[in-house]
């Protein structure tokens, strides 16, 4: 609505309510295993507030159809979309530690993989963005336990680096038909990002930097030696960059870029040199979607005009 002052008031109300706090320490069902506290938020069984997720504001809870009648089945596709199809590689088998069965339908851009994160950013740790695999099929002793080499198109599909946020594995459903992982639709990390955006739009750059630094302090164990930002860093583009670092795989990115009217510029600048599916031909026409002819024809007493360019 382009009313950043009103947005700031609403966001401050959430932050000052005392009902939520950023996850800054290990918790949950794998807290004694190797990992980090950012990764803990996305482990199957750690999403709900009753499970220790103090950052969750709104969670869409899913139930396993094998244990709860009417549980979720085939609608959410996040695991299949975001994970890699590693099970196509001889010597790799489906497992909990590798996230279950995925299809590699999306590949993180070169910008995300090689330019976005600073060294030391926990959100880019091996637990949060997987870049390497170890052969885990014990029936193939010649390769078992050895690193899986990249070859050919594997980095695009079968072994593509990816976010681990949608890992989920049910040994009773190895095909992975049902996505039984809860979906965190709103969490406090995004609240700070929305606040920083509202503050940037009002010219409150010191306040915006403070909002971002709250997240940076969580993301960088070496903070403030590394990771700290200042008012001079604060632009809408920087906030949008930070949204990727914090929310990759969670937010509807196209909606965010359309809302901020930055879709064409950012997608063209950051993805036109991608080695696979580079952005081509994106124009301002694509800031709106075409209205289906059936909807136009339904309006018999009033004219529903097609969006420009279609």
Interaxial angle between packed helices 4-15 and 188-201, expressed in degrees from 0 to 180 and rounded to the nearest 10: 150
Strand partners, 61: none
**Distance in angstroms (rounded) separating the CA atoms of residues 131 and 118:** 16
CA angle 92, 96, 100 (to 5 degrees): 65
Indicate the pTM of the whole model: 0.93
CA distances to 255, 262, 280, 286, 308 from 291, in Å:
17, 22, 22, 12, 10
- pLDDT one digit per residue (tens) for the chain, 310 residues: 899 999 999 999 999 999 999 999 999 999 999 999 999 999 999 999 999 999 999 999 999 888 888 888 777 889 999 999 999 999 999 999 999 999 999 889 989 999 999 999 999 999 999 999 999 999 999 999 999 998 766 777 899 999 999 999 988 888 887 788 999 999 999 999 999 999 999 999 999 999 999 999 999 998 998 999 999 999 999 999 999 999 999 999 999 999 999 999 999 999 888 777 788 899 999 888 999 999 999 988 889 999 999 9
């Amino acid at each position: 609505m382009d009313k950043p002052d009103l947005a700031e008031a609403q966001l401050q109300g959430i932050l000052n309510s005392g009902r939520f706090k950023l996850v800054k320490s290990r918790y949950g069902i794998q807290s004694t295993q190797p990992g980090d506290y950012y990764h803990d938020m996305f482990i199957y069984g750690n999403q709900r507030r009753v499970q220790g997720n103090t950052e969750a504001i709104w969670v869409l809870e899913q139930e396993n159809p094998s244990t709860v009648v009417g549980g979720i089945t085939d609608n959410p596709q996040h695991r299949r979309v975001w994970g890699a199809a590693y099970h196509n590689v001889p010597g790799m088998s489906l497992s909990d530690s590798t996230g279950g069965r995925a299809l590699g339908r999306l590949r993180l851009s070169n910008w995300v993989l090689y330019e976005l994160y600073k060294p030391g950013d926990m959100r880019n740790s091996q637990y949060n963005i997987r870049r390497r695999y170890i052969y885990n099929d014990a029936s193939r002793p010649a390769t078992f336990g050895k690193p899986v080499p990249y070859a050919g198109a594997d980095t695009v599909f079968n072994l593509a680096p990816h976010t681990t946020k949608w890992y989920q594995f049910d040994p009773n459903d190895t095909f992975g038909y049902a996505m039984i992982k809860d979906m965190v639709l709103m969490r406090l990390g995004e609240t700070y990002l929305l606040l920083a955006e509202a503050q940037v739009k009002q010219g409150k750059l010191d306040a915006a930097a403070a909002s971002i630094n709250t997240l940076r302090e969580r993301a960088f164990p070496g903070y403030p030696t590394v990771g700290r930002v200042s008012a001079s860093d604060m632009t809408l583009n920087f906030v949008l960059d930070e949204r990727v670092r914090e929310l990759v795989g969670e937010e509807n990115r196209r909606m965010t870029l359309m809302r901020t009217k930055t879709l064409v510029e950012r997608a063209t600048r950051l993805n036109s040199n991608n080695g696979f599916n580079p952005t081509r031909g994106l124009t301002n026409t694509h800031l709106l979607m075409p209205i289906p002819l059936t909807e136009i024809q339904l309006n018999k007493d009033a004219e529903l005009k097609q969006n420009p360019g279609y």
